[in-house]
Structure 1
Amino acid sequence: MNYKKLGNTDLDVSTICLGTMTWGEQNTQEEGFQQMDYALDHGVNFWDTAEIYSIPMREETYGETERIIGNWFQKTKKRDKVVIATKVCGNTSNKYIRGGGYNFGKKKISEALEESLKRLKTDYIDLYQLHWPERNTNFFGKHGYEHDENDNDWTPFEEILESLKRFIEQGKIRYIGLSNETAWGLSKFLEISKLKDLPKMMSVQNPYNLLNRTYEVGLAEISVREKSGLLAYSPLAFGYLTGKYRNNNLPEKSRMKLFKDFTRYKNENGQKAIEEYYKLSQKFNIDFTQMSLKFCEIQPFMTSVIIGATTIEQLKTNIESVNVSLTSEILNEINKIQKMFPNPCP
C-alpha cells in the first residue's frame, strides 16, 4: 500500500480509501465487516462514510453505514488502527435530517456531530467534512455556475470554522475537509482560516475519474499549493470504468441494475469515451479497473482514491491497483482520448 500525508498534518493515510456507502443497502453488516477486515489487513487505514449513508438516501437507512462501522469498532477494538472520515449534510429537503434546510449553523452542526459520534461508537472523528455546500453551486451533471442573487442566507464560512474549531478543542474531531466544493469555496475557507487563525481545510472530496477531470481546471493548483488534497470519489464512474456495463450489459445486483435513476454516466459521449479507454486497457494488457484507479492515484493533487466495492473480489482488484504502473505511453494515450471526449460526464 502507498501512503500520503493528509494535508499538512503528520497523519499518514493510504492512497486507497475504503468507501462505505453501499453498506446498509447493497451490502449487509456482515459483508461490511468482511470488507473492513480485508481492507485493514491489506494496508487500507483510511475509511470514508457520511451521516446520510447508505445510498440511495432513504429515511429507513439514514445513518446505517455509520452504525455498521461503529459496530465493527465495538466488536474488534481496532478504532485506533483506522483514520475515519465522515460528513455532515449541507442543505437538504429531507425533513428527517434535523428538519431539513441548512445544517452548518451552530446548533445543527453540533447535533450532527454528536449523532455521528454515537453511531460510530467513538469519541473522536479524524476527518470531519462538509458534505455539499449550503449555497447553490456545483450540482451533479453541470459544467457551469449559475448565480442566484437571492441565494445569500447560508451560514457564513467564519461561523462554520468557529464551530469546527470548538469541536477540535473539545477533542471530538481532529481535522476538517470539504466535499463537492468549488475553487471559490475552498479558497475562501483557506483565506478565512489564515486571516482569523481558524482550522484549515485539509482535503476536498469531489468526483474525479477518466470521464470527469474537471477538478484539474481550478482546484488542482489550490490543492497542490495549499496542501489541501483531493479525496476522489466515483473513480470508477459508478462501475462504468470497470467495463462491466459495456454492450448494454447490466449484471445482477449491480448499481445500474438496481438504481436506474443513476444516469450520470449514461450519455452518448461518455459511452464512447468508456469504449476508447477500455480498448486502451486491452491494447496494453492492463486491467481496466486498475488502469482507471491508478490514473487517479498518481495525480499530484491527489491524497487518496475512494473505492467502493460490493464484493470482496472487487475490493481485492481495487486495492491491488496500487501495484500497477502506467507508462508515459499509456498516459499519453489517455490524454488523447480526453481531448477527443473532454469531461463528458461532469
Structure 2
Amino acid sequence: MPPFQQRPLGNSDLIVPEVCLGTMTFGEQTAESDAHAQLDYALAAGINFIDVAEMYPVPARAETCGASERIVGNWLARQARDQILIATKVAGPSRNLSWIRSGPPAMDRANIRAAIDGSLQRLRTDYIDLYQLHWPERNQPMFGQWHFDPANERECTSIREQLQALGELVKEGKVRQIGVSNEHAWGLMQFVRLAEEAGLPRIVSTQNAYNLLNRTYETSLLTEIGHRENIGLLAYSTLAFGHLTGKYLANPDAPGRITQWPTFGQRYTKPNVQPAVAAYVALAAKHGLTPSQLALGFVRSRWFVASTIVGASSLTQLQETLPATQTAISPELLAEIDALQLRYTNPAP
C-alpha cells in the first residue's frame, strides 16, 4: 500500500493518519488474537490512530462492556506509547446501559471522571490522546432518528459543566485533546462558544456517521462550522454496517451484524436504502471497482474528513478494506456519485 497521508486534527497538536482503525467488534465478533493481528497490520501500514469506547464492543451488553478497551490495552502495553494515538469515549445517558455507572444518569463531572479512570485502567495507559463525549446528553435525534421533538426535552448537564470536567482532565494530563461524537450544528457551536468564553479546552473533532447513504454532515450547517471553526470530522459507519459492500443485495441473510442482531442498525432499514445500495454497486461495477472501494474511497477523498474510520471483524476483512480506502475518486466519478445522491438523498440519515 502507498503511505497514508497525515493530517492535523482540528487546531490541535495531534497529527493523525487519514485512516483510523475502529475497534467496536473487538471482544464480540473479533477474538483478542485476531484483534491484535489487526492492530499489528494497521500499524505496519502506518495507521497509528485507534478509536475505541468504554461501551464497546457493540451491540452493547453487560457481559462484554469494556472488552474492546481491554484488548487494545493489552496490545498497547507492548508498543511505544508515544507512537500510538488512542481515542476513546465516555458513554452518556438515555441508551439503556444500566451496567455502566448505573445508567449512566448524566454526563456530569462525577460520571466523566469515573469513565476516564476506568478507560485508563483498561487501556493500561496514563493518558488518552483524544477523549470524546460519545453522544449528547441533551434531547436531539440520533442513531437513525431524524425528527427533533421538543416534547422530549429533559434536564441535562450543561455543556459548560461538561467542558469544565473535561478541562480538569486536560490540566491533570489524563487527556491531551477533547472531541464530541454524534453532534449536531447547535451543539458544535455551543462547545466552541463556551470554550472561548470560559477559557476552557476547545473541541478539535466530531465523530459522526458519514457514508454514501448518509451525507447529512455535508449540509452547510456542519461543513461550514467544521471549516470555519477548524473541527475535524472523524467519519464512522463508512460502509453502512456492511450494506455498501453489496453483500446483502445477493443474500439478505449474509453473515454480519445486521443479520446476527436484527434490531441493530435501524437507520439502514429505511425504504430507499436497498435501491440506493443497488445503484452504488452498479456504479462501482461500471468503473471497475468493488463496492467497498467506491464507498471507502469516496469518504477518504472528501475535503472535510480528517480521518476515515474503518473496522473489521477479522484480519482478512481488514486486509481488503484498508487498501480500499486509497481508491482514487475522479471528478467524473464524483459527479456520478452526486447524481445518485440527488436521486436517493440521504436514505439512511
Amino acid aligned to 1:195: E
Amino acid aligned to 2:254: P
Task: Output the CA distance in 1 between the equivalents of 2:33 and 2:81.
Answer: 18
Amino acid aligned to 1:123: D
Moved more, 153-162 or 275-284: 153-162
| Aligned twin of 2:322 | 319
For 1:75-90, list aligned pairs within 5 A: 76-90=78-92
Task: Output the CA distance in 2 between the equivalents of 1:15 and 1:342.
Answer: 26
Alignment partner of 1:109 is 2:112: yes
For 1:1-346, list aligned pairs within 5 A: 1-74=4-77, 76-92=78-94, 93-148=96-151, 150-151=153-154, 153-217=155-219, 218-252=221-255, 254-262=256-264, 263-346=266-349
Task: Output the CA distance in 2 between the equivalents of 1:146 and 1:176.
Answer: 28
SS at match of 2:334: helix
Shift of 1:91: 0.9
SS at match of 1:273: helix
**In 2, are the aligned partners of 1:290 and 1:317 still within 8 Å (CA)?**
no
SS at match of 1:237: coil
C-alpha deviations, 1:190-238, integer Å up to 9, x for none? 0111111110110001100000001111211111111111111101000
Task: Output the CA distance in 2 between the equivalents of 1:72 and 1:268.
Answer: 42
Shift of 1:321: 2.7
Task: Output the CA distance in 2 between the equivalents of 1:150 and 1:44.
Answer: 41
Q: What is the TM-score with the length of structure 1 in the denominator?
A: 0.96
**In 2, are the aligned partners of 1:232 and 1:304 still within 8 Å (CA)?**
yes
Q: What is the TM-score with the length of structure 2 in the denominator?
A: 0.95
**In 1, are the aligned partners of 2:127 and 2:175 still within 8 Å (CA)?**
yes
SS at match of 1:60: coil
Task: Output the CA distance in 2 between the equivalents of 1:160 and 1:204.
Answer: 15
Amino acid aligned to 1:279: A
Aligned residues: 343
SS at match of 1:192: helix
Amino acid aligned to 1:89: A
**In 2, are the aligned partners of 1:138 and 1:181 still within 8 Å (CA)?**
no
Task: Output the CA distance in 2 between the equivalents of 1:270 and 1:61.
Answer: 30
Q: CA RMSD in A?
A: 1.3
- Runs of 4 or more, structure 1, over 4 Å off, are none
SS at match of 2:113: helix
Over the matched positions of the two proteins, sequence identity in percent amounts to 44
Moved more, 257-266 or 33-42: 257-266
Task: Output the CA distance in 1 between the equivalents of 2:232 and 2:316.
Answer: 29
Task: Output the CA distance in 1 between the equivalents of 2:82 and 2:259.
Answer: 37
SS at match of 1:265: helix
Shift of 1:248: 3.3
**In 1, are the aligned partners of 2:35 and 2:314 still within 8 Å (CA)?**
no
| Structure-2 change in CA distance of 1:85 and 1:273 (3 Å) | same
Amino acid aligned to 1:157: I
**In 2, are the aligned partners of 1:89 and 1:103 still within 8 Å (CA)?**
no
Shift of 1:140: 2.0
Moved more, 99-108 or 195-204: 99-108
